[in-house]
Structure 1
Amino acid sequence: MLKLNNIEFYNTPSGSVMVSIEGQEAFMLLPTHYDLISILHDYIMQNYHGAYLALSSLYKGSAQNPSYYRYRIVSRFARCNFGEYETNVVDISKHTFHFEQVHCPLRGTGDCQLEKVVCNPQYTLPLTEMSKFKLIIRWVLLPLWLTIFIVYLPIWYLLMSWYYFSFQDYWESYLVLWDRVMITLRLKNEWKSIKMSCCFSTRNRRCFEASVVRMKHVLW
């Protein structure tokens, strides 16, 4: 099984990427090198996620061909970070990337939007157990929020406002109810950190806008 160890990259004058693995002859990186490209692609995606998102957006036109799509991402990442031929320190050793200051005519000019995004990228810190727990809580609370919102609507209408309907009144009443639910679950502080992305329809636009303002004040 291929391991990310003792691998050296360097650019050629024609723009190709050469790969030198310990114990093997140097070869030009091609889309057919599936094993090497796959392991590098996955490592970049997990550990340099910002660079991966930028490159995946740049090459989204090739996404219909997955092998070529991954090749373009890996090749560009290597060209921008491992392009120099370095004999003292290998580019990848023991699953650790050693980035180089690759000569680039666009560096420092402001003309390259990927500068400091793809070249010399930021390492993506792994999620802590608490961060994972918070993400799970957020996904769990969203359907709960929607369920209570829908179920409480006819109850409130029948008990409190059977002769008319005001979305603003209902919204304020619902926020009070939700606060009580959060207190009961001891998750009120966590709820305030959740960004809501739901959109509700209403005939009264002013009422809806006022409700959104009210929601922001309560949540943030």
Structure 2
Amino acid sequence: MSAQDSPHASGSRRPRQEHASHGKNPLRRTSDRVESWCSGLLLLVLVLGLPMASMSAGLTAYASAMRTVQAQSAQRHQVTARLTSAPEAAPGSATDEKHKAQVSWTGQDGRQHTATVRVPLNKTAGSTVRIWVDREGTVQDPPMSAGNAKATGWVMGGMTAVCIYAGLVAARKGTRWVLDRRRYAQWDAEWDLVEPPWSARFRR
């Protein structure tokens, strides 16, 4: 065995490295730990809470919209109405644009009803159109469809997700802002203690 390989060879030994245990970093301040905990909590809310909240909001909005669909479908029905006058178009109007015209129809109670509705420009007096009315014979818009209810659910779920994400980002920035203000205050206080003796060395 050579002298270089001998465990008793002369020379200084390498300093033994001591690894700080996890979470025992002496340079890590309390504010750093608080910031780390808050970041972990916000990340947990983002990963678990955001999907659950957005899905819950979307399903709730969809269920509410479907109740509206069922109610409107039960209250409204289509009837065939006859135009009593041709639609009048303003100059320069598009041919596929709908315009107001008078129509009349016989309700379920046998009474004659009249109303003003929007019909295509190619309709003439005496032609028929299909319109939606309620039980009282008042002209209404078509009832909401199941597709509209699904779209409402998706939109509400997406808006909820965006709002939660924006709230978490704001909370993250607000937490860092508060902690930074405290850090700056601590640095100022420590500098007030260190600066006088440190500056005095250069005044001698």
Superposition TM-score tier, normalisation by shorter sequence: under 0.3
Normalising by structure 1, what TM-score?
0.24
Tell which structure's C-alpha radius of gyration is larger.
2
Normalising by structure 2, what TM-score?
0.26
Greater strand proportion: 2
